[in-house]
């Protein structure tokens, strides 16, 4: 499958997931939960809900689940640290509104994570027989 098709599928899953999670984020912070706590809870939920869709639909990965899941979690751990660091810098230190920072991070982090998923988490050909790879 071509990178463009994969990115479109990844975007559909990501946009749907992140739209729902962003609304949840706004509701949680409106209800009094701290912005970093809300981001942490929803980030973990987002990882779990997108693994199956990205593995099966976006990348059509047929490799072992434990290996791809470990790489998936590591990728999102990187994304979490990146998000948290940017929030500390831009919200806590620079005083920018957390709503806008989180919204921007959705798109920046999504691009970074797509590349990691394509080339590391769900590499093309993993789990396929040599005959299937030649097709």
Read off the pLDDT of residues 71-82 as tens digits, 9 standing for 90 and up: 999 998 999 899
Q: What is the DSSP letter of 20?
A: H
Q: Which of 43, 98, 53 is nearest to 73 (CA)?
A: 43
Q: What is the mean pLDDT of the chain?
A: 90
Start-end of H helices in 31-129 = 35-53, 65-87, 98-116
For residue 90 the two structure tokens come to 């831009």
**Are 36 and 87 spatial neighbours (Cβ–Cβ below 8 Å)?**
yes
pLDDT of residue 125: 73
Domain boundaries, the chain: 3-124
Q: Over the stretch 33-47, which tens digit does the pLDDT of each residue have? A: 999 999 899 988 988
């Amino acid at each position: 499958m071509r990178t463009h098709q994969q990115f479109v599928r990844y975007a559909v899953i990501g946009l749907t997931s992140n739209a729902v999670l962003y609304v949840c984020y706004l509701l949680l912070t409106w209800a009094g939960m701290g912005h970093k706590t809300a981001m942490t809870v929803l980030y973990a939920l987002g990882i779990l809900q997108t693994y199956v869709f990205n593995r099966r639909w976006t990348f059509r990965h047929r490799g072992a689940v434990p290996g791809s899941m470990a790489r998936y979690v590591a990728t999102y751990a990187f994304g979490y640290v990146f998000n948290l660091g940017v929030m500390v810098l831009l919200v806590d230190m620079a005083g920018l509104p957390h709503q806008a920072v989180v919204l921007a991070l959705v798109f920046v982090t999504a691009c970074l994570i797509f590349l990691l998923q394509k080339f590391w988490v769900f590499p093309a050909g993993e789990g396929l027989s040599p005959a299937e790879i030649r097709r």
